[in-house]
């Protein structure tokens, strides 16, 4: 049997089967020897390191009958030996293995060794990749390609709220029917981890970016989405907007290339009224150019949002340099570096959720 070589990376969190080679003293010089022991149908595992129990699964057949199946891994004090087989020619392995609490975040190799009744042995390794899935931040990605994550000023992907260990939640507005979302721990990339539906069980999630399928939000509207990365579970609930929408929202500050005289005025014409979405009165958008206007020398864009009624109601931001949420009547002024070369962004502000985005155009 040729040995199957599988590329395994730490972050992919996949467990794959690497069949070992068996030896046969009676070698036919005209053809390769055939193995008497065969492995198939090994389940992939996606796990973390917090003492979770996994199930080691494999199907084994032995042309000369089974004598012993052993699952061993010294660092975990694992030594499970099976000797009783209802059918001596085949056996379905399904053994529970507890990952120790102190298991290292690395790739571990569990050994599955089979001995047939003639004493022939064949072994395979079950690779268990461990990573702590209790991410500091999980992001909702409603983009379809890696390129859509690049070049945006802020807010793409969208940071979720971490409400407890391994558990993240967001109230999100789907602007279109059949909006597709996945969840990523690294805001800069969709791989190797992009959490989405497990294609073999749509009630569960998988972290494998090469396999995960998007969660589809069938109708446009607001949703409460909860994701648990330990249990690889999720819930999606369509909800109604709360409260009354504001009549107007405006950008106030400086650093907008087409507004050279704009310098923290709070009335028209030196503020930028955002456009209200025709189907959602809480959602506001505007195409703007950020850059040092002609005749000006400052090199940062500083701005907040107001309801265009003086300074009575306004939004600043949770982070001046990398805003993710607009904070009603609180927060910090945005303070973002700009140059004399303007860049066009689509500003998107959801006054219901506070989510703020500047998407490169």
Same fold, 17-129 and 139-239: yes
Looking at domain 17-129, which CATH architecture does it have?
Sandwich (2.60)
Q: What is the dihedral of CA 215, 203, 56, 167, to 10 degrees?
A: 70
Could you please report the per-residue DSSP string of 218-287? -SSEEEEEEEETTTTEEEEEEE---S---S--EEEEE-BTT-TT-SS--STTSSEEPEEETTEEEEEEEE
pLDDT in tens, the chain (361 residues): 333 333 333 333 333 333 333 334 433 333 344 468 888 876 666 566 667 888 889 999 999 999 999 999 999 999 999 999 999 999 999 999 999 988 988 889 999 999 999 999 999 888 888 888 899 999 999 998 999 999 999 999 999 999 999 999 999 999 999 999 999 999 999 998 999 999 988 889 988 898 899 999 999 999 999 999 988 899 999 999 999 999 999 999 999 999 998 999 888 888 999 999 999 999 999 999 999 999 999 999 999 999 988 888 999 999 999 999 999 999 999 999 999 999 999 999 999 999 999 999 9
Domain boundaries, the chain: 17-129, 139-239, 250-360
Q: Which CATH architecture has domain 250-360?
A: Sandwich (2.60)
* Domain 139-239 = CATH 3.40.920.10: no
Decide: 250 and 308 in contact? Cβ < 8 Å: yes
Bridge partner list, 161: 169
Give the angle subtended at the CA of 233 by the CAs of 101 and 144, to the nearest 5°: 115
């Amino acid at each position: 049997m040729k040995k199957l070589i599988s590329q395994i990376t730490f972050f992919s969190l996949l467990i794959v089967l690497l069949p070992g080679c068996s030896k046969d003293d009676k070698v036919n010089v005209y053809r390769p020897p055939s193995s008497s022991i065969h492995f198939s149908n090994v389940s992939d595992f996606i796990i973390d390191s917090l003492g979770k129990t996994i199930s080691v699964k494999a199907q084994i057949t032995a042309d000369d009958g089974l004598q012993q199946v052993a699952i061993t891994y010294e660092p975990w004090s694992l030594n499970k030996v099976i000797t009783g087989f209802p059918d001596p020619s085949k056996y379905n392995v399904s053994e529970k293995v507890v990952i120790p609490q102190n298991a290292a975040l690395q790739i571990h190799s569990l050994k599955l060794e089979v001995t047939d009744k003639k004493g022939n042995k064949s072994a395979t390794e079950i690779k268990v990749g461990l990573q702590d899935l209790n991410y500091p931040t999980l992001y909702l990605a409603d983009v379809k390609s890696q390129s859509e994550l690049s070049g945006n000023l802020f807010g793409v992907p969208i940071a979720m709220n971490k409400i407890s260990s391994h558990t993240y939640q967001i109230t999100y507005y789907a602007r279109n029917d059949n909006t597709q979302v996945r969840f990523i721990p690294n805001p800069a990339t969709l791989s190797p981890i992009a959490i989405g539906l497990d294609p073999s069980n749509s009630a569960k999630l998988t972290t494998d970016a090469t396999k995960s399928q998007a969660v589809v939000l069938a109708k446009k509207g607001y949703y409460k989405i909860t994701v648990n990365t330990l249990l690889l579970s999720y819930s999606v609930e369509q909800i109604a907007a709360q409260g009354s929408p504001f009549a107007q929202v405006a950008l106030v500050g400086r650093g907008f290339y087409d507004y050279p005289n704009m310098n923290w005025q709070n009335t028209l014409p030196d503020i930028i009224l955002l456009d209200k979405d025709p189907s959602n009165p809480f959602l506001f958008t505007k195409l703007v150019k950020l850059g040092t206007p002609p005749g000006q020398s400052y090199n940062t864009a500083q701005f907040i949002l107001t309801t265009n009624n003086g300074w009575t109601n306004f939004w600043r931001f949770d982070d001046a340099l990398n805003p993710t949420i607009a904070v009603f009547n609180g927060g910090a002024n945005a303070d973002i570096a700009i140059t004399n070369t303007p860049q066009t962004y689509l500003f998107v502000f959801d006054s219901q959720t506070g989510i703020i985005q500047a998407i490169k155009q």
